[in-house]
Amino acid sequence: MVAVVGIRGLSTRFGDVWVHRDIDLEVGRGEVVSLVGGSGSGKTTLLRQIIGLLMPTAGEIRLFGQPLFGGGVDRERALRRRFGVLFQQGALFSAFSVYDNIAFPLRELKELDEAAIRDLVMLKLDQVELLAEHADLMPAELSGGMVKRVALARALALEPELLLLDEPTAGLDPERSDAFVRLIRQLGSELALTVVLVTHDIDTLAALSSRVAILAEQRIVGYGPLAEVMAIEHPFVQGFFHSERGARALRDAGLR
């Protein structure tokens, strides 16, 4: 079966600084893969490369079996319509209402009339458990949790097969974080999504991940189910998973 995300020999250098060296990674259909690593390990850089915002120095990225870069504007645009992105702070357009933020990618298609767009916006609001009355609010009027939900609704507007999340629960209190994780898990199942996320939050990771990729020393030092990677003898792994907070999260997830 063709991998949804296939990375081969990826290396990244900024000036004289190497961030990645010869990384290989495959994400299968329906998986939820978390990218984890310390500050400066290159996890967000890798996510941005999968999105197509950054070109690697060397190597290849394939989505759905197709090269991410090259082949013309139309081919790249069609490929990008197959994934949605939720950025860390939501990245909502501050001058647009909730409605217009979600409608934006639908209008960019130039294939739908406004009646069809309205139906889809209302559907997406319902999917992320927001009310129709929230459509008229401006981003400045939203709580942190609502910003995340609106951004998720926008990411899902084009019915993507792949969802990419950058620190999806960052800035949320524990209750809102748990609720957002449950929502992602529910939508992933209902919509048959493949998910790749960057997170430093072990509760989020334990609740969502089918596999975890550990980035350290410019490479992936471990990739597999959580119970497998947390046993790796590596300083980052030991410090991250076996701290007091890590042990609690793993107990809550039934892994200890």
Confidence of residue 151 (pLDDT cuts 50, 70, 90): very high
Confidence of residue 248 (pLDDT cuts 50, 70, 90): low
Residue 75 has pLDDT above 80, yes or no: yes
What are the Cα distances from residue 86, in Å, to 47, 134, 140, 174, 190?
A: 11, 19, 18, 19, 18
| Model pLDDT, residue 251 | 65
DSSP tally for the chain: helices H, then strands E: 10, 10
| Model pLDDT, residue 76 | 82
| Mean pLDDT of all residues in 79-94 | 88
pLDDT, one tens digit per residue, over 89-113 is 778 999 999 999 999 999 988 788 9
Confidence of residue 174 (pLDDT cuts 50, 70, 90): confident
The whole-angstrom separation of Cα 158 and Cα 100 is 14
pLDDT, one tens digit per residue, over 17-68 is 999 999 999 999 999 999 999 888 899 999 999 999 999 999 999 999 999 9
